[in-house]
Amino acid sequence: MTITRFFRVGSALLCACALSIVATVCQPVRSENMVSTDNGYLDGLLGEWDMVGTVRGQSVRYRAQAERVLNGSFLRLHMVDVEVPPGYEAEVFIGFDASVGDYVTHWLDRFGAGGARVVATGKREGERLVMIFPYAENPFRDTFTFEPKARTWSLLLEAQGRDGSWSTFAAYKLVRPGIDASTKSGGG
CA 103-107-113 angle, to 5 degrees, is 135
Residue 135: pLDDT over 80:
yes
Sorted by where each starts, the structural domains of the chain and their CATH numbers stand as 2-31 (no CATH), 33-183 (2.40.128.20)
142/53 Cα distance (integer angstroms): 14
151/172 Cα distance (integer angstroms): 15
DSSP H or E stretch at residue 54: strand 47-55
Give me the half-sphere count of Cα atoms (radius 13 Å) on the Cβ side of residue 44: 22
Alpha-carbon distances of 181 from 68, 95, 125, rounded to whole Å: 25, 27, 25
Q: Of 13-22, 28-37, 151-160, give the range with the top mean pLDDT.
A: 151-160
Phi and psi angles of residue 23, each rounded to the nearest 5 degrees, phi first: -65, -40
97/8 Cα distance (integer angstroms): 47
More confident residue, 77 or 39: 77
pLDDT category at 112 given cuts 50, 70, 90 is confident
Share of the chain above pLDDT 90, in %: 60
Closest CA to 180 of 64, 66, 61: 61
Residue 34: pLDDT over 80:
no
Mean pLDDT of all residues belonging to the chain: 81
Q: Which residues is 166 bridged to in the sheet?
A: 160
Cα–chain center distance at 132: 14
Residue 187: pLDDT over 70:
no
The pLDDT score that the predictor gives to residue 76 is 97
Is residue 107 classed exposed, middle or buried when 0-12, 13-18 and 19+ CB atoms within 10 A define those classes?
buried
Alpha-carbon radius of gyration of the chain: 23
Across 117-128, average pLDDT:
92
